[in-house]
Amino acid sequence: MKAPFFQLIIIYAVFIPWVPFARNLSHRLGLARSTAKPLVIFSDSSPGSIRRMTIIRYFDWFDRLVFGGPAAGTDNTALPQPDLVPEETLPAGVQVRLADGTVQSGFLAFRKIMSSLPLFWPVAIVFQFPLVSTLTPRLYTGLLRAGS
């Protein structure tokens, strides 16, 4: 039959469940943090916000973020920080509550999320440059208005 199995083996790699494998490996190697994790707060009334959180949850392979608020389907009292921002006051973007209690929103929150996910560390390094961190908040708000 001469089926080209070995030539197409990379295509078969798509069907491997990589996320559970990465999480299991991180727990075995001790890469999963036991300290307080950033709490990502987002609104479930915006389709664009739900889309962004779905993507971020997929790439959170090492469980470095905690998702909360009305969109997470959790009770706010069970979260590490029960005083979440009410859903009607959330912007179209995302907010991140850090372990020290400070809240970052907009581009700063997005930059914190990117620095928490190891796959996006190269992007997070670029976001730290002075010119990039000056121009990208405007671009971020423009993209939020266009995508929501």
Domain that holds residue 43: 20-147
Q: Is residue 126 part of a domain?
A: yes
Sheet holding 66-68, edge to edge: 66-68, 39-42, 94-97, 103-105
Q: List Cα–Cα distances, 16 to 9, 13, 21, 62, 119, in angstroms.
A: 11, 5, 9, 17, 18
Give the residues across from 103 on adjacent strands.
Answer: 97
Q: Is residue 106 part of a domain?
A: yes
- Dist. CA 68–CA 37, nearest whole Å: 12
pLDDT of residue 116: 87
Q: Is residue 6 part of a domain?
A: no
- Dist. CA 146–CA 15, nearest whole Å: 33
pLDDT of residue 33: 57
Residues of the chain with pLDDT below 50 are 71, 73-84, 86-89
pTM for the complete prediction? 0.61
Q: Is residue 5 part of a domain?
A: no
**Number of domains comprising the chain:** 1
pLDDT of residue 67: 85
The answer to whether residues 113 and 72 touch, using CB atoms and an 8 Å cutoff, is: no
Q: Is residue 141 part of a domain?
A: yes
